[in-house]
Amino acid sequence: MREINVNEVEDLIRELCIKANLYLPEDMEQCIKAGAEKECSPVGKNVFDDIIDNINVARNETIPICQDTGMAVIFMEVGQDVHFVGGSLNDAINKGVSRGYIDGRLRCSIVSDPLDRVNTGDNTPPVVHLKIVDGDKVNIMVAPKGFGSENMSQLKMMTPSVTREEIVDWVVGVCAKAGSNPCPPIVIGVGIGGDFEKCAYLAKKALCRPVSERNPKKLYADLEAEILEKINKLGIGPQGFGGTQTCLAVNIEEAPTHIAGLPVSVNVGCHVTRHAHGTI
Q: What is the pLDDT of residues 183-241, one digit of tens each?
A: 999 999 999 999 999 999 999 999 999 999 999 999 999 999 999 999 999 999 999 99
Q: What is the pLDDT of residues 6-42, one digit of tens each?
A: 999 999 999 999 999 999 999 999 999 999 999 999 9
Q: Write down the pLDDT at residue 137.
A: 98
Q: Write down the pLDDT at residue 274.
A: 96
pTM of the model: 0.96
HSE at residue 137, side-chain half, CA atoms within 13 A, is 5
Q: What is the pLDDT of residues 252-269, one digit of tens each?
A: 999 999 999 999 999 999
Q: What is the pLDDT of residues 125-173, one digit of tens each?
A: 999 999 999 999 999 999 999 999 999 999 999 999 999 999 999 999 9
Question: If pLDDT is split at 50, 70 and 90, which confidence band does 102 have?
Answer: very high
- Distance between CA 37 and CA 251 in Å, rounded? 21
The DSSP letter of residue 240 is: G
Helix (H), strand (E), coil (C) string for 21-55: HHCCCHHHHHHHHHHHHHCCCHHHHHHHHHHHHHH
- Distance between CA 41 and CA 106 in Å, rounded? 34
Q: What is the pLDDT of residues 38-88, one digit of tens each?
A: 999 999 999 999 999 999 999 999 999 999 999 999 999 999 999 999 999
3-state helix, strand, coil in the chain (%, to 5): 40, 25, 35
Q: Write down the pLDDT at residue 57.
A: 96
Q: Write down the pLDDT at residue 3.
A: 98
Q: Write down the pLDDT at residue 202.
A: 98
- Distance between CA 56 and CA 50 in Å, rounded? 10
**Alpha helices, DSSP H, located in 62-178:** 89-103, 147-150, 164-178
- Distance between CA 20 and CA 25 in Å, rounded? 8
- Distance between CA 89 and CA 138 in Å, rounded? 12
The SS3 assignment for 72 reads strand
The DSSP letter of residue 126 is: P
- Distance between CA 122 and CA 100 in Å, rounded? 9
CB–CB of 251/143 below 8 Å? no
